[in-house]
Amino acid sequence: MSDQTLAQRAGRSALWQIVGGGWQTLVRLGASIYLARALRPSDFGLFGMALLYQEFLITALSLGFGSGIIVKKEISEDDLSTAFWLSCTVRFIIFLAIFLSAPLAAYFWKEPRVEPVVQIISFIPLLQILGLIPQTLASKHLQFKKINIIRGIAILLESTTAIILVAFTGLTYWALVIGMIVNTLFYNLVLWFSMGRWFPKFAFHKDSFRYLFRFGFYSWLFGITNYLKQNVDYFLVGRLLGSYQLGLYEFAYRLPHLVLDRISRPVGEVLFPTFSEVQDDNEKLFNNYVNAVKYVCLICYPILFILAGTSDIVVPLFWGNQWLPIVIPLQILCICAALKLLDQPTGYIFYCKNRPDIPYKISLIVLIFTIIVVGLLGHFYGLLGVAFGMLLSVLPSFVVLFLTFFYLLKVNPFRFFLLLLPIFISSLCSYLVVLTVKKILLVIELKFFTVLISSSLLGLVVYLSFISILFPIIRKEIVQKIKIIFNF
């Protein structure tokens, strides 16, 4: 495949991931405006407890066979069938482990209502079996348009279901559970149909198993440590402070990290198969990495900086005064999310270099650091300390990023940071403008909605002006990428 064709396909796939992530963010935020007022923070906290427990066991017991399929250049039906039967076995074990251990979740969280919720959502790993191989094949072949259309409709169905149940039946956290099940059923069933209703052969190939198990084993180790690293704050808050505080913190964390979940990580799904096409060329790997992070930051940084500058207005205006305690933690977590954007795809480089062991080792070190920092600060300063601890926990990732560029790819790491400097400067200037305009408009006692729209729009104008006028090279690159993607 030529560089031009690969860039075009990857660019279109990334665009669909961004559009799809943006749509999912809008739907979830729109639904949250109603649900945050109709439900209590403890309802979100209770649902979050059950979900954390389920996700932990899924991560602890899963083997990531999909990464091996994506990296391997020539995939046979034996590989796919072997991966499917392995995944079926693992998923059934996961279901039994979650369902039977639900009382332990209630004991750990000191919340008996968690037990039936955990038992119900334990069926979700079984419901996902149908879409496992179709999802992997769609990702490998960069069919992200199809994935995002199906996922976008599934998210809409989930949110609509939850809102209808809360509004007309009086259900609280159970509405969130049912909405998630509707999402899972629809997404996996429709994806299976759209990918040709793939069926496995009754075959189990030893060579395929050895290859897939190697990637799966290290993906499993990395998945456990990475999951704990990303959720240790939730566990600490839920265990020490209870469902109400967890509901508050989960909301504060979720808002800025929607950018990671709906834009950055989906773009990373495009990078993995794209990286695998150029895995033997360090310079191309580096350039692909830099370009991906640059364009993600170009979109996400103004969102995060403007949200940080207007959070004291956004929170009471859209979600109500009961959520005011999250304002300062939310501002800190916006900075945390902005920093995380810089190193999201690093693990894919190691996979492409046939070193699936390295992400696990790095994640283990970062996990230990995160537990110490978040645990200490959370113990002494509550939610504010947890948020600041999560911000500090990002710092080791920059050391890893520096060493990856320098030793593995043999490139100068400072090239990466210099290329992103214009975006940071433009975003910082827009943040300062937002703060200034907001303060002036609040002094003259305009309505919150007017203040929010005016300050946000002016901040966005400043950001785009800086990028366009002071950093014309980025503007030219964007125009060039658009021409490549759309074949102008």
Segment 432-442, tens digit of pLDDT: 999 999 999 98
In a 13 Å sphere around the CA of 43, the CA atoms on its Cβ side amount to 17
Averaged over 42-68, what is the pLDDT?
Answer: 78
Name the more confident of 482 and 396.
Answer: 396
Averaged over 375-391, what is the pLDDT?
Answer: 86
Q: Amino acid letter at 268?
A: G
- Please give the angle made by the CA atoms of 333, 335 and 340, to the nearest 5 degrees: 90
CA–CA dist 18, 22 (Å, integer): 6
**Per-residue pLDDT at 137:** 76
Q: Which residue has the tokens 């990373």?
A: 268
Do 234 and 249 touch, CB atoms closer than 8 A?
yes
**Per-residue pLDDT at 1:** 47
What is the percent of the chain where pLDDT is above 70?
78
Is the model's pLDDT at 254 over the cut of 60? yes
Averaged over 398-402, what is the pLDDT?
Answer: 77
Cβ-proximal residues to 46 (8 Å cutoff; 6+ apart), any chain: 111, 113, 114, 117, 173, 243, 247
Is the model's pLDDT at 321 over the cut of 60? yes
Averaged over 169-190, what is the pLDDT?
Answer: 93
CA–CA dist 161, 152 (Å, integer): 14
Name the more confident of 172 and 299.
Answer: 172
What is the pLDDT confidence band of residue 14, given thresholds at 50, 70 and 90?
low
Averaged over 235-242, what is the pLDDT?
Answer: 76
Do 79 and 363 touch, CB atoms closer than 8 A?
no
**What b/e sequence results for 310-344 when a residue is b if at least 16 CB atoms lie within 10 Å of its CB, and e otherwise?**
bbbbbbebbbeeebebbebbbbbbbbbbbebbbbb
**Per-residue pLDDT at 4:** 47
Q: Best-predicted range by mean pLDDT among 98-107, 259-268, 338-347?
A: 98-107
Q: Which residue has the tokens 């978040």?
A: 374
**Per-residue pLDDT at 161:** 96
Q: Amino acid letter at 195?
A: M
Cβ-proximal residues to 207 (8 Å cutoff; 6+ apart), any chain: none
Q: Which residue has the tokens 């899924």?
A: 58
Mean pLDDT (the chain) is 80
Averaged over 210-238, what is the pLDDT?
Answer: 70
Averaged over 451-477, what is the pLDDT?
Answer: 85
Q: Which residue has the tokens 């020490």?
A: 240
Is the model's pLDDT at 3 over the cut of 80? no
Quick one: angle between helices 41-61 and 114-121, nearest 10? 50
Averaged over 212-232, what is the pLDDT?
Answer: 68
Averaged over 4-13, what is the pLDDT?
Answer: 60
What is the pLDDT confidence band of residue 2, given thresholds at 50, 70 and 90?
very low
Q: Cβ of 265: how many Cβ atoms within 10 Å?
A: 17
Averaged over 312-330, what is the pLDDT?
Answer: 88
CA–CA dist 289, 471 (Å, integer): 21
**Per-residue pLDDT at 263:** 67
Q: Where are the domains of the chain?
A: 3-486
**Per-residue pLDDT at 374:** 85
**Per-residue pLDDT at 25:** 79
Q: Amino acid letter at 368?
A: I
CA–CA dist 344, 357 (Å, integer): 17
Is the model's pLDDT at 362 over the cut of 90? no
Helix H, strand E, coil C: the string for 219-264 is: HHHHHHHHHHHHHHHHHHHHHHHCHHHHHHHHHHHHHHHHHHHHHH
Cβ-proximal residues to 209 (8 Å cutoff; 6+ apart), any chain: 82, 86
Name the more confident of 357 and 98.
Answer: 98
Name the more confident of 35 and 222.
Answer: 35
Q: What is the pLDDT of residues 108-130, one digit of tens each?
A: 888 899 999 999 999 998 998 88
Helix H, strand E, coil C: the string for the chain is: CCHHHHHHHHHHHHHHHHHHHHHHHHHHHHHHHHHHHHCCHHHHHHHHHHHHHHHHHHHHHCCCHHHHHHHCCCCCHHHHHHHHHHHHHHHHHHHHHHHHCHHHHHHHHCCCCHHHHHHHHCCHHHHCHHHHHHHHHHHHCCCHHHHHHHHHHHHHHHHHHHHHHHHHHCCCHHHHHHHHHHHHHHHHHHHHHHCCCCCCCCCCCHHHHHHHHHHHHHHHHHHHHHHHHHHHHHHHHHHHHCHHHHHHHHHHHHHHHHHHHHHHHHHHHHHHHHHHHCCCCHHHHHHHHHHHHHHHHHHHHHHHHHHHHHHHHHHHHHHCHHHHHHHHHHHHHHHHHHHHCCCCCHHHHHHHCCCCHHHHHHHHHHHHHHHHHHHHHHHHHHHHHHHHHHHHCCHHHHHHHHHHHHHHCCCCCHHHHHHHHHHHHHHHHHHHHHHHHHHHHHHCCCCHHHHHHHHHHHHHHHHHHHHHHHCHHHHHHHHHHHHHHHCC
**Per-residue pLDDT at 429:** 92
What is the percent of the chain where pLDDT is above 90?
22
